[in-house]
Amino acid sequence: MRRNIYLRTIPIEEALTRVVERLDRERLVGVERVGAERATGRVTAEPVIARYSSPTYHSAAMDGIAVRAAETFAAREGSPVRLAPGQGFVFVNTGHPLPTGFDAVVMIENVVMDGEAACIEAPVAPFAHVRRIGEDIVATEMILPRHRRITPYDVGALLSCGAYDVSVYERIRIRVIPTGDEVMDFTSRPAPGPGQVVESNSMLLCALADEWGFVCERVPPVSDDPEALAEAVRAGLESDAHIVVTVAGSSAGSKDFARATMERFGEVLVHGVAAMPGKPSLLGVAEGGKLLVGAPGYPVSAVVCFERLLYPLACWLSRVEPRSKQTVTAHLARSVPSRIGMVDFVRLAVGKVGQRHVALPLSRGAGSISTLTKAQAVTQLPAAAEGLEAGAEVTAELLCDPGELARTLVCVGSHDNTLDLLADLLMRHTPAIRLASSHVGSMGGLIALRNDAAMVAGTHLFDPETNDYNFPFLAKYLPNLPVTVINLAVRQQGLIVAPGNPLGIAGVADLADGQVRYLNRQRGAGTRILFDYHLAQAGIDPSRVSGYGREEHTHMAVAVNVGTGAADCGLGVYAAAKALGLDFVPLARERYDLVVPTAYLGDPKIEAVLETVRGGEFAARVEALGGYETAWTGRIMEPGMGLPG
Amino acid sequence: MRRNIYLRTIPIEEALTRVVERLDRERLVGVERVGAERATGRVTAEPVIARYSSPTYHSAAMDGIAVRAAETFAAREGSPVRLAPGQGFVFVNTGHPLPTGFDAVVMIENVVMDGEAACIEAPVAPFAHVRRIGEDIVATEMILPRHRRITPYDVGALLSCGAYDVSVYERIRIRVIPTGDEVMDFTSRPAPGPGQVVESNSMLLCALADEWGFVCERVPPVSDDPEALAEAVRAGLESDAHIVVTVAGSSAGSKDFARATMERFGEVLVHGVAAMPGKPSLLGVAEGGKLLVGAPGYPVSAVVCFERLLYPLACWLSRVEPRSKQTVTAHLARSVPSRIGMVDFVRLAVGKVGQRHVALPLSRGAGSISTLTKAQAVTQLPAAAEGLEAGAEVTAELLCDPGELARTLVCVGSHDNTLDLLADLLMRHTPAIRLASSHVGSMGGLIALRNDAAMVAGTHLFDPETNDYNFPFLAKYLPNLPVTVINLAVRQQGLIVAPGNPLGIAGVADLADGQVRYLNRQRGAGTRILFDYHLAQAGIDPSRVSGYGREEHTHMAVAVNVGTGAADCGLGVYAAAKALGLDFVPLARERYDLVVPTAYLGDPKIEAVLETVRGGEFAARVEALGGYETAWTGRIMEPGMGLPG
């Protein structure tokens, strides 16, 4: 089985330099004339000169009367100068040329008409309220230097000065070729089966390119066949594209043909960058001088390759600097490990908690699509770092509008399906509130509150001794933090089983010593604590439960494993079972609450949450999920309340 | 003469609230289904649900072999576990489904082949290097909430999860109608004569709308005729546009028909906002519920109306928050006056001088096109402020990429045509350097250096006593600031006169007591000082020079006034006369130098300047302007050098 060997991985900066040194942008990217009105975002290839002055004539800057300044010098309050029409003054509107012989304008508000004559009570200076010829721009002056990215404002200036056509560099054209036997073309609206994925990286790149001001054209996916891939790359090189990108197959596996293909058409300059994700990236130059890029197939890796390699190179070809991202300093809500020798790009959800920004590190999986949609920022852990502890400061490069951070509510804790409903309704609030929720279990939520790393924690911790929820744990873990507890819903937990319950599971007793493959939740999850409680009640040691050590982080993840037969049973909420058409063996009702530090009750985001959960729509939609009761939804909880009757 | 009366001007926030309260966005803006691949920038009208999980199956996360974890537990270094092909292991590539019965993957790097068998020397945990079904997204989960502006990343997620079509709000459509008897349609590539201007505001709005994610359609300009305007507005209201904008005619002049037209088709809600520029803005709602906007005609006023009124209202219709602009704190290089009761929007050029940002207030003229192209930021002087002194801190909302500020070189002082060449060549430098130059005269430049409000000053101050340039003034005004003086060029100053020199002007003596209308430069300008010196040499008192009190700020502005007959003569550089085809009566050679605080010599921007002015292309292009000598260009000057021989 042939496997390729990586070139040694090199730092991103070095990779870019290596490629820039080998590309001839003067030859590769041409110059064209375009109408100024269509030139926004284009880059000037030469300085642009004004053909006409602005203004082209002395003109009235105000509505009023044109006068000769010298004839007004005697005007005083109570002793007006009287000017005759035509000889002494002429009515003018803003923008009108100053009539010959006149050299100033008196604003209409300062003119008193006396029959046909105009009376003014104050002198005016020569050229008062006159826009002088060329006072803004003089014909032959440079309006724009070269290598300027043309703005909408520039479009106005170009047209005003008669620079109707401008010489600009061609827009950078990219051809993207998705590859892989397993990928399906989205255009056929496919339903992926096992071993299949819907190809999306190519359209992600097209959308990014559009934002960057480049033009990206996608071709249908090519299978893992060296000849088919070569044919697609050849067609790309023969097209008018400046850059040909293959997606997937850039690594060193037995079906990774990107490198060999690149070698067929040109020279590989970089194979492997010291970055995670994004490491198996390929850069090369084709014989004709075009840039070749081999992007990894995992979406997050592909994005790193697009943003950190392709984008700066395309900018360089365009003669513009890459846009810089706004940064904020944020405190990590959790520790993040990092590999020495690699720059780690860690995507973050970021919100304001009190006076500081808190960053929730998102899933690090290179294949995680949800990481891309949830990320509001990305931070780079330098190659020399071994990782960062919770609370550490990071520089977060924003991917979202900076204003969004103040409207982002950081919620850490247990997972519940109603949080999605809350997130949706908060987006309808004015202003829209973005819910950044991190599912680390109920205990994780309390710890986040203690560290001031969240504004809200979702918890459903049952205390058998007091038969109460959450308060005993708050007393123990947050004794010094005044908090307010608001019920979100009361929910049904139970064993999620395959449709028809083929194994006839009736309760936790059926999980002991048998063939039932259980799927557990992670440590610190309220659902796991609940499971342990029921095991203890039934006198079953965890070691007797097959699969007790296998963990998932959400109700839905448990349900989908049951749905596909990867597990026989797991504990979770009814809503998760119902969503996937599974059966459900009820085990217990429990209270799911939101815990908010009392100091934050006046925060507009918390006020929006209270308003939303107390509104009728939230309760109605929660009820519609099934397995929820909303009698207490939105109510402030007190110790000892337990469950509603 | 009928003149409209303003409604009382109201604060912008109040104007927006008044309009939002009267618009019915549910009725006005519809919902449509679009393909996810074309949905970037669109706003979701409902939550988007995953149709398929991601991944849809347990898959290998690495290239390697699929194994049963339980069979590896005994593996140790030096004591490998040996697995048979098919039964004990199967080769897998990244992304492959895990074969039935296997539950973990060993990376290929950790496998030693022994014939057909695979040997591994370390145990693996269940599900090691396996991407579990739904670990990222589970079918039926919400991928995006409603009112989310779809990003390129979201496009990838939507396609991956089979959300091939999404419900989004219509893109906001704008119809823009330029108006005015004086405006010319740019599409005919006109040459404006006196009283004419090329209409550009409509295309500026189209370009802005495109950046904002709206669609703007422009119609040809309509003359100042109430019926023609009404016809154009009616057509706009009958089109599919959500917003109809008229440009110009929104004020209270005799030809301002925008308000009356708005009243004909609906209700005027706002006429006049407490902002400069932008005051004469109109907002209303048409009978059918569409938004009506009447923008002022001056370009900068129009932009304020577009950005501060139209944009937030269109965002509100779209269900998204307006994007926030990044801000920096900057120190004003000059004082700026402000009118109490009005918010003043002051556009700024901004660059880094030492460790702080310095802001150069640009021309305040509402008609200034160059202000729009030069502005890198805008600051708001609050309605309660009477203006700010030089050195005051302002909050500058950036209009450019934030990275550009560090690449912007602030140059204050005298004007010279070679600065345009320098600006052009600096943009070709890597990285591109933007030259922000403010023309306040040579003395103004020295004061800016003293106040640390510029990194470079351009000066050409002649001292008759020592027959030297600049150094005597540096000794007097900057005694404690170590500076380095670099020659940019030696230039010819002279009297700029009409072609053929019809008045036969031979020198300053001809300007005394006669009919020659002179045009002067502003106080502090080296050229004015030079003129005063020559007047004194000739024994002529300034009061004897007609037009001595009329000031322009640049050589080119002087030249264009002479060119159009608005003045007969002015002192300036040969290049200005030549550019406009005028005649030139030489008066003196002089040295134009750049003064740089020595502490800044190591700054990359200054290094780029030195590299550029010492390069052959700069000298060649300067020579080509005419009237310049470059023998000393780029050389460091010392006191007493005077002029080259």
Residue A152 is predicted with a pLDDT of 98
Locate the chain B residue with the closest alpha carbon to A152. Answer: B207
In angstroms, rounded to a whole number, what is the distance separating the alpha carbons of residues B449 and B443?
Answer: 10
Which residues fall within 8 angstroms of residue A252, CB to CB, at 6 or more apart? A3, A4, A5, A6, A280, B63
Q: Is the confidence at residue B366, as pLDDT, over 90?
A: no
8 Å CB contact of B147 and A432: yes
d(CA B41, nearest CA chain A) in Å? 9
Q: Are residues B109 and B156 in the same domain?
A: no
To the nearest whole number, what is the mean pLDDT of chain A? 94
- Contacts with A363 from chain B: Cβ below 8 Å: 136
Indicate if the alpha-carbon torsion angle B358, B363, B366, B372 is positive or negative: negative
Q: By the 8 A CB rule, do A249 and A255 touch? A: yes
- Per-residue pLDDT of A483-510, as tens digits, reads 999 999 999 999 999 999 999 999 999 9
The helix or strand, by DSSP H or E, that contains position B28, with its residue range, turns out to be: helix B25-28
Q: Is the confidence at residue A4, as pLDDT, over 80?
A: no
A-contacting residues in B 564-603 (Cβ below 8 Å): 564, 566, 579-580
| Cβ-nearest to A326 among B155, B194, B326 | B326
- Per-residue pLDDT of A369-397, as tens digits, reads 899 999 999 999 988 888 899 999 999 99
A70 touches chain B (CB under 8 A): no
Rounded average pLDDT over B382-398: 92
Q: Are residues A394 and A335 in the same domain?
A: yes
pLDDT category at A7 given cuts 50, 70, 90 is low
d(CA A249, nearest CA chain B) in Å? 10
Structure tokens belonging to residue B279: 């005051």
Task: Count Cβ neighbours within 10 Å for each residue of A117-137 and write b for 16 or more, e otherwise.
Answer: ebebbebbeebbbbbbbbbbb
CATH number of residue B559's parent domain = 3.40.190.290
- Per-residue pLDDT of A194-248, as tens digits, reads 889 999 999 999 999 999 999 999 999 999 999 999 999 999 999 999 999 999 9
Looking up tokens 């520790």, which residue turns up?
A335
Q: Are residues A345 and A462 in the same domain?
A: no
Looking up tokens 């996810």, which residue turns up?
B36
8 Å CB contact of B560 and A133: yes
Residue A62 is predicted with a pLDDT of 87
Q: Are residues B524 and B580 in the same domain?
A: yes
- Per-residue pLDDT of B603-616, as tens digits, reads 999 999 999 999 99
Residue B7 is predicted with a pLDDT of 60
Residue A413, domain member (yes or no): no
Q: Is the confidence at residue B4, as pLDDT, over 60?
A: no
First to last CA, chain B: 66
Q: Are residues B485 and B562 in the same domain?
A: yes
8 Å CB contact of A561 and B194: no
Rounded average pLDDT over B478-493: 97
CATH number of residue A147's parent domain = 3.90.105.10
Residue B1 is predicted with a pLDDT of 38
A351 touches chain B (CB under 8 A): no
pLDDT category at A597 given cuts 50, 70, 90 is very high
Where is the domain boundary, A406, A433, A457?
A: A406
Residue B622, domain member (yes or no): yes
A85 touches chain B (CB under 8 A): no
Residue A120 is part of which domain span? Answer: 59-131
Residue A185, domain member (yes or no): yes
8 Å CB contact of A59 and B195: yes
Q: Are residues A387 and A473 in the same domain?
A: no
Q: Is the confidence at residue A552, as pLDDT, over 90?
A: no
- Per-residue pLDDT of B563-604, as tens digits, reads 888 899 999 999 899 988 999 999 999 999 999 999 999 999
Q: Are residues A496 and A386 in the same domain?
A: no
The helix or strand, by DSSP H or E, that contains position B176, with its residue range, turns out to be: strand B173-178
Share of chain B above pLDDT 90, in %: 81
| Cβ-nearest to B162 among A47, A198, A255 | A198
Q: Is the confidence at residue B3, as pLDDT, over 50?
A: no
Q: By the 8 A CB rule, do A503 and A516 touch? A: yes
d(CA A641, nearest CA chain B) in Å? 32
Q: Are residues B295 and B395 in the same domain?
A: no
pTM metric for this prediction: 0.93
Q: Tally the C-alpha atoms within 13 A of residue B250's C-alpha that lie toward its C-beta.
A: 28
8 Å CB contact of B159 and A566: no
Q: Is the confidence at residue B356, as pLDDT, over 50?
A: yes
Rounded average pLDDT over A528-534: 94
For residue B359, how far is the Cα from the chain centroid? 14
Q: Report the residue of B16, B44, B56 to disrupt the A interface, i.e. the one with the largest count of A CBs within 10 Å.
A: B56
8 Å CB contact of A370 and B143: yes
B402 touches chain A (CB under 8 A): yes
Residue B410, domain member (yes or no): no
Residue B6 is predicted with a pLDDT of 57
8 Å CB contact of B367 and A127: no
Share of chain B above pLDDT 70, in %: 99
Catalogue the E-assigned strands of B36-84: 48-49, 59-60, 64-67, 81-83
Sheet of A117-120: strands edge to edge? A81-83, A117-120, A111-114
Locate the chain A residue with the closest alpha carbon to B320. Answer: A432
Locate the chain B residue with the closest alpha carbon to A93. Answer: B253
Question: CA-based Rg of chain B, rounded to a whole angstrom?
Answer: 34
Backbone phi, then psi, for A600, in 5-degree steps?
A: -95, 5
Q: How many domains does chain A have?
A: 5
pLDDT category at A278 given cuts 50, 70, 90 is very high
In angstroms, rounded to a whole number, what is the distance separating the alpha carbons of residues A595 and B52?
Answer: 33
B141 touches chain A (CB under 8 A): yes
B558 touches chain A (CB under 8 A): no
Q: Is the confidence at residue A98, as pLDDT, over 70?
A: yes
To the nearest whole number, what is the mean pLDDT of chain B? 94
Q: Are residues A63 and A45 in the same domain?
A: no
Q: Is the confidence at residue A54, as pLDDT, over 90?
A: no
Residue A454, domain member (yes or no): yes
Vertex B308 angle, CA B408 and B350, to 5°? 10
- Per-residue pLDDT of B79-135, as tens digits, reads 999 999 999 999 998 888 899 889 899 998 899 999 999 999 999 987 889 988 888
B296 touches chain A (CB under 8 A): no
CATH number of residue A182's parent domain = 3.40.980.10
Q: Pick the residue with more confidence: B157 or A125?
A: B157
Q: Are residues A143 and A245 in the same domain?
A: no
Q: Are residues B492 and B556 in the same domain?
A: yes
Of B248-257, B268-277, B374-383, B524-533, least confident by mean pLDDT is B248-257
- Contacts with B317 from chain A: Cβ below 8 Å: none
8 Å CB contact of A139 and B204: no
8 Å CB contact of B200 and A160: yes
Residue A365, domain member (yes or no): yes
Residue A3 is predicted with a pLDDT of 45
| Cβ-nearest to A138 among B138, B399, B556 | B556
- Per-residue pLDDT of A456-479, as tens digits, reads 999 999 999 999 999 999 999 999
Which residues fall within 8 angstroms of residue B191, CB to CB, at 6 or more apart? A52, A162
- Contacts with A550 from chain B: Cβ below 8 Å: 126-127
Backbone phi, then psi, for B356, in 5-degree steps?
A: -120, 160
8 Å CB contact of B195 and A136: no
8 Å CB contact of A52 and B198: yes
A364 touches chain B (CB under 8 A): no
8 Å CB contact of B145 and A253: no
B500 touches chain A (CB under 8 A): no
Residue A359, domain member (yes or no): yes
Q: Are residues B180 and B161 in the same domain?
A: no
Residue B469 is predicted with a pLDDT of 97
Q: Report the residue of A160, A298, A429 to disrupt the B interface, i.e. the one with the largest count of B CBs within 10 Å.
A: A160
Rounded average pLDDT over B158-163: 96
In angstroms, rounded to a whole number, what is the distance separating the alpha carbons of residues B508 and B512?
Answer: 7
- Per-residue pLDDT of A64-88, as tens digits, reads 999 998 899 999 999 999 999 999 9
- Contacts with B561 from chain A: Cβ below 8 Å: 132-134
- Per-residue pLDDT of B422-472, as tens digits, reads 999 999 998 899 999 998 899 999 999 999 999 999 999 999 999 999 999
Rounded average pLDDT over B198-226: 97
Residue A417, domain member (yes or no): no
Residue A255 is predicted with a pLDDT of 79
Q: Report the residue of B1, B105, B131, B160 to disrupt the A interface, i.e. the one with the largest count of A CBs within 10 Å.
A: B160
Q: Is the confidence at residue B263, as pLDDT, over 60?
A: yes
In angstroms, rounded to a whole number, what is the distance separating the alpha carbons of residues A471 and B412?
Answer: 66
CATH number of residue A353's parent domain = 2.40.340.10
In angstroms, rounded to a whole number, what is the distance separating the alpha carbons of residues B382 and B449?
Answer: 29
| Cβ-nearest to A145 among B61, B135, B424 | B424
